[in-house]
Amino acid sequence: MSTRTVVTRIRDRARSAPKGVAMREKRLGIWHEITWADYWDAVLDVGHALLALGVRPGDRVSVQSENRPEWLFLDIATVAVRAITVGLYPTNPTAETAYLLSHSGACLHLAEDQEQVDKALGVEDVPDLRRIVYVEPRGLAPYDDPRLMTWDRLLEMGREHRAANPGAVEALVDAAEPGDVMTLVYTSGTTGPPKGAMLTIGNAEFALETVLERSPFARPAPGPHDLTLSYLPLCHVAERVLTTWYNAGAGTQVNFAESIETVPQNLREVQPTLFFAVPRIWEKLLATARIKLDSATWAKRRYAAFWLRRADRLGARLAANGGRHTAGTRLAYAVGWVLFYRALRDRLGLRRVRHASSGAAPIAPEVLQFFMGIGVPMHELYGMTENTAIATANRPGRVRLGTVGEIHDGTEVRLDDTTGEILTRHPAVFAGYWQDPDATARTISEDGWLHTGDVGEWVDGTHLRITDRMKDIIITAGGKNVAPSEIENALKASPFVKEAVVIGDGRKFLTALIGIELDTVGAWAQQRRLAFTTYRDLAEKPEVRALVQGIVDEVNSRHNPVEQVKHFRMLPKELDHEDGELTATQKVKRSAIDAMFHDLVEDMYAGGREGAA
Amino acid sequence: MTPWGRPELYTAYKQDMALLNTRSKMLGVAAILVVAALMPLMVADDLLIILGNGLVLAIGALGLNLVTGYAGQVSLGHAFFVGVGAYTAAVMAGDPDGRYLGLGIDFMPAWLLGAGLVAAACGALVAPLATRLRGLYLAVVTLGLVFIGQYFFFEWNEMSGGSQVGREAAKPELLGIEFTVDNGFKGGWTEEQKLYWLFLAILVVAAVAARNIARSRIGRAFAAIRDRDVAAGVMGVNLTRYKVIAFTLSSFYAGVAGSLMFSAFGHFTPESFSLLMSVQFIAIVLIGGVATVSGTIMGAMLIALLPRLASELPAFLPFLSDSATEHPNIFEFEQVAYGVLIVAFLLFEPRGLFGVWHRVRTYWKSFPFSY
């Protein structure tokens, strides 16, 4: 009996439902469908091509591309021939690409287009890298590096090899063992260089069995009738689980968004039934909805305001009741659905969502409550790369806002007695960091407990609440412990605030650097006939400062004096991955921010009067 | 296959290109068709005549919209082509032994097509002018057509019956159904009911054809020429060819409309094909909506109903008289309303009735947002 893997799951689907839709990709306005039979055929072709190119079990194959079917084909084919997939963010700058390629020792690299090929070719000193495959040939005709080859050529090579060696890939698929490393997921690394977490076939299987079979995250359990939208980077563990593994495990139909910018449009077209987003996306969706409602005609505005007030109340009632409807809220919502919420959800692309979730970073409860109020069943989840995203989850009907939910069946989670650090132990805990035994030893204790680095506490003994990242906890000069992320999220819950970085470690009081959301503040300024040119110009307008001051004051009023932000400064630019201020997952790198905006910070503590609270 | 309930998820070009690409459009069109088809059972015959006349006007206006709305070639000569169609049909269907010219072909599809084709041929003859002229100059030249046409219609007595006298119009008759015979008293359909259904059927065919022309390669060429003929030429659109096609198609529609226009009344005189008729068609296109098929039909119905609406007015506005000898009277009002409607639409809703509908639709389609 061979091991069940993500690959065999796809093979079995290709046999049982060959004409079922596995994924859709939008090209020139049309969503082209790929069936399970097409999928499996492509995996075999690519798998044979990998064999023809000399990829052996345990070799690394890297991918740097936006989400597209080829990502999945290559990923699955790599696992099929028992090699290891390494995902790179398309936004990784050349230096990071170089680090990841040489650290992982990839022998074959998929670079989506000219931009990514340029990055890969700019990397020197990678003797193991034998082939660079590209999918989009535009602009690449003049390139003559011998390592380059097109995706079509790869497929052709695979077909030739398949004809000559039938069954070679299938034999390797059957030989797979649970201990095989199937992928390296490089953590984003808010501190220090990224580390490659090794996830095994056993990890993936345990994760899938947990969320799909042992304690299904949605009822009825996800299946072939569910649609998902794939738009977060596939090299991140969350999107890999949601796109590649759920697709294989539950047969959900994956729809690839054209790009991150077109997500709102694609959402409206696809109307997914299962939707996961990071807090940044939820905040953006909320901000967009608010702007659009505010800029509607008078009658529509008043009408929407009426129903949103009701949604607020509904959201609060639902949140108090674990996300379950009472007879009263069900009736109130049914009326609202006919008259307003249906249309609003349709326009947001959330009309058919039956399970929505947020994870990968902390989110303000206000945001969750808004969506619950308009009828989107929101669930906050918690997990990390090192435990294959399996730790805790809010279950349908047992939601508790402000917590990340309950322990999954068959897994263990506990808090460290002294530090309060969250520890998890289950078969989906990773096999260690690639070529970094020291870091591995620091993260996994001898008896198998994974140190997550997050501090948490139990609420009512069942739900876990996360205080903050352990190393982010601010200890003020007065010796008080403050969790900055809670304050930052409260600030970011405003549609006008995009970034908030609370500072104060070893200082007398807290301060913050605040970045505005260009779209919303821009629209706000336009309504007030406030002329502006650039982001910086807008951010430094006195009116905008006053606007932000109001938000800060409002947040301060909800906190005790130690947790109040005394001064703030506007960030003069939008934070960016390429400039090293954000990680690839859009998390703020505090060290980089400290270094880059050192003057602003010092100015606040030097008693600058501007912006005093 | 598109998953259920996701109208914007196009999985094939066929679906994207479909005329009725959403469920609501499909249901809407079906509902309108059903109501239109049941109209004769619900409405009195005197109103039915007016509605039927509106349907015929719509056929003619579709033609004008093709050349003026879609292809941007201003034509004031539409009345001429309508006249050519009316006389062709009358001559083809006329009694060979009668007082006037007649060929005795009373098979309706034959004279219907004949009227269209002869008018189209006239259109093709005139078209080369359009390739040399543009805008106001083209308008003036086509205006000339109306006067040349009237001269012929007035003077060629064997064909037209002459000024003030006129001749019989072609009588529609198909598969043993005489559309102009009233069977109402025998428990059958009345003349008005049968004619209405005939006109409706022909209009549906004409409208679907016009819509398909508009979204075909020809339609795209028309739009390119309208937006800037020089640019269209540079892009490889054969200007002469497409302008000829535009005039020919337009005249065909006009001819068909002309052959049916007088069926209900049974008799017509050359005076009908005056400049006023051209202006009426232009009004329909402008009020209905330039370069829209549904708008054209809405405009035609409105213009056809205008006299009836005006005649209802004295009940509400006591100072209006329904006697032609007193002032102000409803006939004067009707004339003024024409002008006011055209001016008002051009100023406030240049996309016509279609624009009004479009506004309403967008309001609900974007609900609860505004864009």
Number of neighbours of residue A536 by Cβ within 10 angstroms: 13
Helices (H), A374-457: 437-443
The CA distance from A424 to B322, in Å, is 92
Q: Say whether pLDDT at A609 is over 70.
A: no
Q: Say whether pLDDT at B94 is over 90.
A: no
Reading the block at residue B254, the tokens are 């006009």
> Cα A356 from chain centroid?
13
* 0.85 surpassed by complex ipTM: no
Whole-model pTM: value is: 0.84
Tens digits of residue pLDDT in A405-464: 999 988 999 999 888 899 999 999 999 999 999 989 999 998 999 999 899 999 998 999
Banded model confidence at residue B74, pLDDT cuts 50, 70, 90:
confident
Question: What is the set of domains in chain A, with CATH numbers?
Answer: 260-429 (3.40.50.12780), 473-605 (3.30.300.30)
Q: Say whether pLDDT at B226 is over 70.
A: yes
Banded model confidence at residue A613, pLDDT cuts 50, 70, 90:
very low
Q: Say whether pLDDT at B185 is over 80.
A: no
Number of neighbours of residue A215 by Cβ within 10 angstroms: 16
Asked if B45 and B239 count as a contact pair (C-beta separation under 8 A), the reply is no
> Which of B71, B98, B56 minimizes the C-alpha distance to B272?
B56
Banded model confidence at residue A587, pLDDT cuts 50, 70, 90:
confident
Classify residue A214 by its DSSP letter: I
Q: Do A271 and B6 touch (CB under 8 A)?
A: yes
What was the pLDDT predicted at A189? 65
Q: Say whether pLDDT at A1 is over 60.
A: no
What was the pLDDT predicted at B322? 76
The CA distance from A22 to A328, in Å, is 40
Residue A338 Cα, gap to closest chain B Cα (Å): 12
Banded model confidence at residue B316, pLDDT cuts 50, 70, 90:
confident
What was the pLDDT predicted at A393? 93
CA dihedral A117, A122, A128, A131 (to 10 degrees): 20
Residue A453 Cα, gap to closest chain B Cα (Å): 42
Q: Does A99 touch chain B (CB under 8 A)?
A: no
Helices A6-16, A168-175: axis angle to 10 degrees equals 120
Helices (H), chain B: 13-17, 23-42, 45-64, 78-93, 108-132, 136-155, 157-160, 191-214, 217-227, 229-234, 239-261, 275-288, 293-312, 330-348, 352-365
What was the pLDDT predicted at A92? 87
DSSP 3-state assignment of A357? strand
| Rg of chain B on CA atoms, in Å | 22
Kind and range of the H or E element at A568? strand A565-570
The CA distance from B224 to B238, in Å, is 11
Tens digits of residue pLDDT in B252-289: 999 999 999 988 888 888 888 888 889 889 989 998 98
On chain B, the residues whose CB falls within 8 A of the CB of A303 are: 368
> Which of A394, A373, A382, A263 minimizes the C-alpha distance to A329?
A373
**Residue pairs spanning A and B at CB distance below 8 A:** 56
What was the pLDDT predicted at B184? 67
Q: Which residue has the tokens 């919209």?
A: B65
Check residues A57 and B326 and name the one with the higher pLDDT.
A57
The CA distance from A583 to A575, in Å, is 10
Of residues A31, A297, A347, nearest to B11 (C-beta): A31
On chain A, the residues whose CB falls within 8 A of the CB of B366 are: 347
CA dihedral A538, A539, A544, A548 (to 10 degrees): 160
Q: Does B367 touch chain A (CB under 8 A)?
A: yes
Mean pLDDT computed over A142-149: 92
The CA distance from B264 to A541, in Å, is 73
Tens digits of residue pLDDT in A296-311: 889 999 999 999 999 9
Beta strands in A10-81 (DSSP E): 21-27, 30-35, 60-64
The CA distance from B152 to B157, in Å, is 9
A contact test, residue of B6, B360, B364 with most A CBs within 10 A: B6
> In residues, how long is chain A?
613
What was the pLDDT predicted at A612? 43
Per residue in A450-480, is it b (16+ CB within 10 Å) or e — as a string?
A: bbbebbbeeeeeebbbbbbbbebbbebeeee
What was the pLDDT predicted at B43? 84
Asked if A187 and A383 count as a contact pair (C-beta separation under 8 A), the reply is no
Residue type, B319: F
Asked if A236 and A208 count as a contact pair (C-beta separation under 8 A), the reply is no
| Percent of chain A at pLDDT exceeding 90 | 67
Q: Which of A181-195, A438-452, B136-150, B241-255 has the lowest mean pLDDT?
A: A181-195
| Percent of chain A at pLDDT exceeding 70 | 98
What was the pLDDT predicted at B349? 86
The CA distance from B36 to A126, in Å, is 75
Banded model confidence at residue B361, pLDDT cuts 50, 70, 90:
confident
Q: Which residue has the tokens 């990242």?
A: A469
Helices A69-80, A6-16: axis angle to 10 degrees equals 110
Highest mean predicted confidence (pLDDT) among A186-200, A237-251, B2-16, B168-182: A237-251
Q: Do B369 and A33 touch (CB under 8 A)?
A: no
Residue A394 Cα, gap to closest chain B Cα (Å): 29
Q: Say whether pLDDT at A191 is over 80.
A: no
B contact test, residue of A31, A295, A345, A374 with most B CBs within 10 A: A31
Asked if B356 and B348 count as a contact pair (C-beta separation under 8 A), the reply is no
> In residues, how long is chain B?
371
Tens digits of residue pLDDT in A55-109: 999 999 999 999 999 999 999 999 999 999 999 999 888 888 999 999 999 999 9
Asked if A210 and A388 count as a contact pair (C-beta separation under 8 A), the reply is no
What was the pLDDT predicted at A611? 44
Tens digits of residue pLDDT in A4-37: 999 999 999 999 999 999 999 999 889 999 999 9
Of residues A225, A270, A340, nearest to B368 (C-beta): A340
Q: Measure the CA angle with vertex A551, ends A297 and A609; round to 5°.
A: 135
User: Is the torsion defined by CA of B335, B340, B343, B345 positive or negative?
Assistant: negative
Largest pairwise CA distance in chain B: 69
Q: Where along chain B do its domains lie? A: 43-274
What was the pLDDT predicted at A580? 79
